[in-house]
């Protein structure tokens, strides 16, 4: 589905014309919807990986991510960077909010990091404070260029067109202060489409893992 097709469908479903839903208004719906979808849809298309160094005695980790392009961090895992028997083991960190981090590690007790949280857009904080140097791999979602009159198709508009449309209609009927049952209806249609797309993504991953193999991950300790 192209940008022009989506815009026309939104107007048609809401029974309004370009005088009511101007391009600026529709682009606002679309921007909000894409932001929602990129958080809701666990798509492999926008997954990226980056490496960062965790220094012994320092809780804060600078993330080598692209400013204003990183939408959300999906996971963080660490490996021992000092060598030895544990060097091949990977440990996934659990996400916690900053309040938990402060209460869990108020005095900076050192050990194997088990948790992470966002500090600011360029920094992650870990706890406990690292006792040695570690390497961190960050799995994140890169925010792609959105659908627009100059970028007429995107991954979502091609692979998830119904979900994109239904989520836009939720925004559109909300803007019009339309009947609550219409908003509920299209929200339900969106959730149904999202469930189907998620299952499809999981199937693709299983196929890829079968064909290429999955790297072994060290057990949690």
Is the Cβ–Cβ distance between 115 and 95 less than 8 Å? Answer: yes
Is the Cβ–Cβ distance between 123 and 52 less than 8 Å? Answer: no
Claim to verify: residue 23 and residue 55 sit in the same structural domain = no
The total of structural domains in the chain comes to 2
Q: How confident is the model at residue 35 (pLDDT cuts 50, 70, 90)?
A: confident
pTM over 0.75: no
Task: Judge whether 50 lies within some domain.
Answer: yes
Residues 39-66 have pLDDT tens digits of: 787 666 677 788 888 999 998 998 766 5
User: Where a domain ends, among 113, 142, 171?
Assistant: 142
Task: Judge whether 150 lies within some domain.
Answer: no
* All residues at 6 or more sequence positions from 97 whose CB lies less than 8 Å from its CB, including other chains: 117
Count CA within 13 A, CB hemisphere, residue 98: 8
pLDDT at 220 over 50: no
Residues 87-133 have pLDDT tens digits of: 457 889 999 987 888 777 666 678 899 999 988 877 889 999 999 99
Mean pLDDT over all residues of the chain?
Answer: 82
Domain region containing 58: 46-142
Claim to verify: residue 76 and residue 120 sit in the same structural domain = yes
Task: Judge whether 217 lies within some domain.
Answer: no
Claim to verify: residue 165 and residue 192 sit in the same structural domain = yes
């Amino acid at each position: 589905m192209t940008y022009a097709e989506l815009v026309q469908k939104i107007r048609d479903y809401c029974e309004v014309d370009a005088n009511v839903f101007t391009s600026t208004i529709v682009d606002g719906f679309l921007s909000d919807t894409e932001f929602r979808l990129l958080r809701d849809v666990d798509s492999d298309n926008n997954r990226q990986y980056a490496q960062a160094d965790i220094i012994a005695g320092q809780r804060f980790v600078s993330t080598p991510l692209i400013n204003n392009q990183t939408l959300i961090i999906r996971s963080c895992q660490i490996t021992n960077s000092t060598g030895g028997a544990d060097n091949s083991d990977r440990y996934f960190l659990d996400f916690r909010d900053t309040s938990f981090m402060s209460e869990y590690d108020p005095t900076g007790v050192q050990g194997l990091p088990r948790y992470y949280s966002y500090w600011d857009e360029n920094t992650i904080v870990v706890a406990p404070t690292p006792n040695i140097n570690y390497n961190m791999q960050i799995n994140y979602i890169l925010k792609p260029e959105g659908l627009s009159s100059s970028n007429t198709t995107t991954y979502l508009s091609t692979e998830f067109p119904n979900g994109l449309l239904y989520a836009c209609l939720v925004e559109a009927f909300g803007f019009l202060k339309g009947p609550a049952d219409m908003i509920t209806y299209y929200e339900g249609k969106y959730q149904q489409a999202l469930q189907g797309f998620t299952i499809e993504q999981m199937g693709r991953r299983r196929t890829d893992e079968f064909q290429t193999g999955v790297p072994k991950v060290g057990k949690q300790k």
